[in-house]
Copies of this chain bind each other. A is one copy, B any other.
Amino acid sequence: MLYLIGLGLGDETDITVKGLTIVKKAARLYLEAYTSILLVDKAVLEQYYGREVILADREMVESSSDDILHDAQNVDVAFLVVGDPFGATTHTDLVLRARALKIPISSIPNASIMSAIGATGLQLYNFGQTVSMVFFTETWKPASFYDRIRENRNIGLHTLVLLDIKVKEQSLENMARGRKIYEPPRYMTVGQCASQMLEIEEVKTAEGEGGVYGEESLAIGVARIGGETEKFVSGTLKQLCLADQELGGPLHSLVLLGRRTHELESEYVREFAVSKEDWDRIWKRDYEGKQ
């Protein structure tokens, strides 16, 4: 059997009892370690499980899935995924390959940021599609997220923005020379995301296609959601450009508020505001009653 087991979002104890039982008896354990990370290291997991865990990077999952699936018709293989097992495309791909090999499949769900984001106090019903924000470079500033946010904003919905993580990346030079030397991991912060959003807004405005959000749009910076040090900071996009210190270490995400925000949602979220006065003023002006 191939088991896809969600680990949740925080530490080693966020696995479900059902998941842990399977982990203890499986023949092999793989940890998917490139679409998200737990707030603890692999060593902590190994200590907790009392077993070895094989790190599965993107290359292994995408190119050597047969190694992962080897003999899974006869023995139990557990593939551990941070969050919920179906949070990322790669894993449906792995399931399709397992199906083709007639391997039975079972998945053990767990918390995902897609639902844990409800801890901001915003109603999950009021979220539109989720978008991703990648690290911009001097020459590459993909703005497809902008049109997705526009679609959500037109309807009045919140947008969850998932932030880029770079693990096991090679520099261009090392890649060109075929050297398997990797850069230190990088995790995008709320401040970087908010700045990139405002940068694209400026570009779009200059092109006559702007106006989706602005410096005074209300948003929530989120750090380590679902973990014991979970932290929220709410404010304008401009204020959130400077909120990284208060938010602390990775992982970060951001929610852009939709105008279909209920008063209870605002009441819940203003508790985390950089400035309650600014929050109330902008809330009354741009959001309240704008169904």
Contact = CB atoms under 8 A, between A and B. Distances in A.
A17 B106 CA distance: 20
A8 to B, nearest CB: 6
Contacts of A265: 92
A115 B112 contact: yes
Contacts of A18: 10-11, 13-14
Chain A, interface SS category: mixed
A111 B226 contact: no
Interface in A110-167: 110-112, 114-116, 118-119, 121, 123-132, 151, 155, 157
Contacts of A129: 125-128, 155, 157
B92 A268 contact: yes
A95 interface: yes
Interface stretch (A30-38, A61-69, A83-91): A83-91
Contact of A151 (B6, B107, B155): B155
Interface of A: 6, 8-11, 13-18, 20-21, 83-87, 89, 92-93, 95-96, 99, 106-107, 109-112, 114-116, 118-119, 121, 123-132, 151, 155, 157, 225-226, 228, 264-265, 267-268, 271
